[in-house]
Amino acid sequence: MSVSEKEVTQAETGARTAPIDREKLVRDMAAIVGTEGVLHKTYDLKLYEYDGSVDKHLPEVVVFPRTAEQVARIVKYCNREQLYYTARGAGTGLSGGSIPLRGGILVAFTRMNKILEIDAENLRAVVEPGLVNLHLSQAVAPYGLYFVPDPSSQKACTIGGNVAENSGGPHTLVYGVTTNHVTGLEVVTPDGEIRHYGGKATDAPGYDMVGLFVGSEGTLGLVTKVIVKLTPLPPAVKTFLAIFDSVEKCSNAVSGIIRNGVIPAALEMMDNLMIGAVEASSHAGYPLDAAAVLLVECEGLPDALEQQAETIEDICRREGATEFRIAKDAAEREALWKGRKGAFGAVGRMSPDYYVVDGVVPRSKLPQVLAAVGDISKKYNLPIANVFHAGDGNLHPLVMFDGNKPGDLQKAVKAGEDIIRMCAEEGGTLSGEHGIGVEKRDMMCFIFNEDDLGIMRRVRQAFDTKGLCNPEKVIPTPGRCGETRIATARKAQETYEREDMQAW
Ligand SMILES: Cc1cc2nc3c(=O)[nH]c(=O)nc-3n(C[C@H](O)[C@H](O)[C@H](O)COP(=O)(O)OP(=O)(O)OC[C@H]3O[C@@H](n4cnc5c(N)ncnc54)[C@H](O)[C@@H]3O)c2cc1C
């Protein structure tokens, strides 16, 4: 028998085939987490059937554990009863990771949100996974410290979600993404045992289990505790806005800055459509007539910053910047960042729906790739606004559509797929930070062959022998890569349409 024949496919999991007795399930869950820790009415469940992506599916129940022991009991119960289970943080994910695609139990971590320890001397904190990202930086600020990963969703998303997605943010260009800021994990593995990987020290011996779990999108187990690295707040910060009359000149400036060995703390780019959306909602002072802007932030000692600022201004002007502004005070800086971090939401004012695409290309390819994104917009007749972590070559085209128009969702998804395929063809990759989830599961074959995927399936199987943990995510069913994404989107649209009809 060949390796791929032996592999357990997701269709052949150990899940039950008999119908679920929902009343019993609710009673059993209440016995573990208390009645106040279980949601089961359809009205409530509907709030947990989606995340920030375009797919959705109802769970049988949502449970809110408060301890690792409760999580372990839930997982053991799922094994006994052959039930699927999926972890959920704040549900801000953009690749469908927390959607319970096969129903079962949704384990929501929002009540496990405590900071258990701040060890300022050793630059570490021990936190529960449901802690909101921003709350950690706020809590350690009095010690002169912060948690570097700052997704634009940081006011809502959880550290557990960040760990699962290996999240990045505008300020991860220099210091690295979540995996560079997690040194230890407590995890309930799919056998229902509580295990510990890493610790406060870096570089644990043996295989890098922490590295394996960070970015595994909730498919290898449920994280119940996280040991994070804290970083001293920078002594000084300078924020600039470089304004360009062409996207190409702006992209060239990005390459120029990095090529010169100046790595700013953040290097973000927005095109004209996005600037319009951001300015309408934030009034931060972004120039409406610019073709593109670069938001640049440098951190460090004041003298070094002056020099960096001069170098960056020189490069931007050489590449054709029409204007180079320096934020004059903290309020101006905050306004610029508020605008940038609210960019996705701002697009919601311009279009009934939007689909956020997340792909990566080598920085040198930015000009041609952005031109091609414009062509894709024309091909599908859907406006696409661009905002992205330019320093990392991490694109976020936002495809605008109207979910109420038949076929619009599929067009948006297809446009996203064209963009991702192009990123892969240009030597980039499928995701910079939003993960694979279900959204890009069937695009994995753009960059991996069946042998590569087979190894990933076997890693997953080493943990999840029964195939119950967050099914249908990340790894495609053998031989079906590239086929099913549109079908999933169609199913989602049909559901919207059916529900609309019912509502009327
Ligand atoms: C407006 C907006 C802006 C965003 N900006 C960024 C950005 O700049 N950078 C970025 O990287 N992302 C960004 N995102 C995406 C998203 O916020 C991140 O992926 C975030 O880390 C998800 O956290 P969450 O708590 O919402 O997780 P969820 O969406 O609830 O879950 C995400 C994944 O984590 C798993 N998971 C959650 N908790 C656990 C746990 N305890 N154990 C195991 N698995 C778990 C889930 O199963 C799922 O696979 C943005 C999203 C939005 C809506």
Q: Residue 138: in which H helix or E strand, if any?
A: helix 133-140
What mean pLDDT comes out for the span 75-99?
A: 97
Could you tell which of 106, 154, 157, 341 is best to mutate to test the pocket of ligand 1, judged by most ligand atoms within 8 Å of the CB? 157
Tell how far the Cα of 72 is from the centroid of ligand 1, in angstroms.
Answer: 22
Residue nearest to atom 15 of ligand 1 (CA): 93
Q: Please state the atom number of ligand 1 nearest to the C-alpha of residue 187.
A: 42
CA gap 357, 242 in Å, rounded: 25
Instruction: Taking each helix axis as running N to C, give the angle between helix 485-503 and helix 408-425, from 0 to 180 degrees, rounded to the nearest 10.
Output: 160
Average pLDDT, the chain: 91
What mean pLDDT comes out for the span 170-194?
A: 95
pLDDT of residue 314: 95
Six token digits for residue 443: 């695009």
Tell how far the Cα of 114 is from the centroid of ligand 1, in angstroms.
Answer: 18
Contact 57, 437 (CB under 8 A): no
Q: What is the pTM of this model?
A: 0.91
- Residue 286: pLDDT band by 50, 70, 90 thresholds? very high
CB burial readout 70-83, b (16+ within 10 A) else e = bbbbbbebbbebbb
Would the pLDDT of 308 be above 80?
yes
All structural domains of the chain: 14-108 (3.30.43.10), 115-232 (3.30.465.10), 236-346 (3.30.70.2190), 351-503 (3.30.70.2740)
DSSP letter for each residue of 186-230: EEE-TTS-EEEEE-SSSS-SSS-HHHHHTTSTTSS-EEEEEEEE-
Could you tell which of 57, 86, 134, 167 is best to mutate to test the pocket of ligand 1, judged by most ligand atoms within 8 Å of the CB? 167
Could you tell which of 54, 88, 281 is best to mutate to test the pocket of ligand 1, judged by most ligand atoms within 8 Å of the CB? 88
Which alpha helices (DSSP H) does 260-329 contain, by range? 272-282, 302-318
Give first-to-last CA distance, the chain, whole Å: 54
CB atoms within 10 A of CB 449: 10
Q: Which of 429, 493, 502, 489 is nearest to 96 (CA)?
A: 489
pLDDT tens readout for residues 440-472: 999 999 999 999 999 999 999 999 999 999 999
Would the pLDDT of 329 be above 70?
yes
pLDDT of residue 491: 54
- Residue 3: pLDDT band by 50, 70, 90 thresholds? very low
CA gap 355, 224 in Å, rounded: 31
Tell how far the Cα of 89 is from the centroid of ligand 1, in angstroms.
Answer: 7
Tell how far the Cα of 236 is from the centroid of ligand 1, in angstroms.
Answer: 30
Six token digits for residue 268: 């973000």
Residue nearest to atom 49 of ligand 1 (CA): 97
Q: Please state the atom number of ligand 1 nearest to the C-alpha of residue 218.
A: 44
Tell how far the Cα of 347 is from the centroid of ligand 1, in angstroms.
Answer: 20
Q: Please state the atom number of ligand 1 nearest to the C-alpha of residue 435.
A: 19
pLDDT of residue 489: 53
For residue 221, what are the CA distances in angstroms to 9, 34, 160?
18, 23, 12
According to DSSP, the residues that pair with 231 across neighbouring strands are: 146
Could you tell which of 152, 274, 337, 430 is best to mutate to test the pocket of ligand 1, judged by most ligand atoms within 8 Å of the CB? 152
What mean pLDDT comes out for the span 215-223?
A: 98
What mean pLDDT comes out for the span 376-386?
A: 96
Could you tell which of 153, 188, 392 is best to mutate to test the pocket of ligand 1, judged by most ligand atoms within 8 Å of the CB? 153
Tell how far the Cα of 161 is from the centroid of ligand 1, in angstroms.
Answer: 4
pLDDT tens readout for residues 52-75: 988 899 999 999 999 999 999 999
pLDDT of residue 478: 82
Tell how far the Cα of 237 is from the centroid of ligand 1, in angstroms.
Answer: 28
Tell how far the Cα of 92 is from the centroid of ligand 1, in angstroms.
Answer: 5
Residue nearest to atom 46 of ligand 1 (CA): 98
* CA atoms within 13 Å, Cβ hemisphere of 331: 1
Residue nearest to atom 11 of ligand 1 (CA): 167
pLDDT of residue 364: 87
Q: Which residue ranges have their beta carbon within 6 Å of ligand 1? A: 51-52, 86-94, 97-98, 109, 129, 151-153, 157-158, 160-162, 164-165, 167-169, 217-218, 222-223, 344-345, 433-434, 470
Would the pLDDT of 203 be above 70?
yes
Q: Please state the atom number of ligand 1 nearest to the C-alpha of residue 168.
A: 11
Tell how far the Cα of 272 is from the centroid of ligand 1, in angstroms.
Answer: 27
Amino acid identity at 214: V
Q: Please state the atom number of ligand 1 nearest to the C-alpha of residue 112.
A: 41
Residue nearest to atom 2 of ligand 1 (CA): 153
Tell how far the Cα of 157 is from the centroid of ligand 1, in angstroms.
Answer: 6
Q: What percent of the chain has pLDDT over 90?
A: 80
pLDDT of residue 266: 93
Tell how far the Cα of 462 is from the centroid of ligand 1, in angstroms.
Answer: 24
Tell how far the Cα of 423 is from the centroid of ligand 1, in angstroms.
Answer: 22
pLDDT of residue 334: 92
- Residue 2: pLDDT band by 50, 70, 90 thresholds? very low
